Structure 1
Amino acid sequence: MVTQRSDERPALTALPSALRASLGSVAALAALVVLVLGILYAGDSGPGAVDARILSAVDGAGPPWRQVALAVDFLGEPLGAAVLVGAAVTGCLLLRSPRAAVLVVVGPGLVVGTTTLLKPLVGRTIHGDDNLSYPSGHTAFLTAFVLVVALLVTGRRGRGGPAGTSLVLAAALVAGAAMGWAQV
Structure 2
Amino acid sequence: MNALFPLPRILLKQGSIPSQTIDALRSHGIDLSPTQVLQLETHRKEQLAEHERFEFDTWGLCVLLEELASSETICPNEFADVAQSAITLFYEVRDAVDHAISDEDIAESIVSEIVQKQGCIECLDSYELASSPLFKQPSLAEELMQDAAEMTYCWNSEDWEYDEYASGWDGEAWEDDCE
TM-score, normalised with respect to structure 1: 0.24
Structure showing the higher helix proportion among its residues: 1
Larger Rg computed on CA atoms: 2
Q: Which has the higher contact order (CA 8 A, sep 6+)?
A: 1
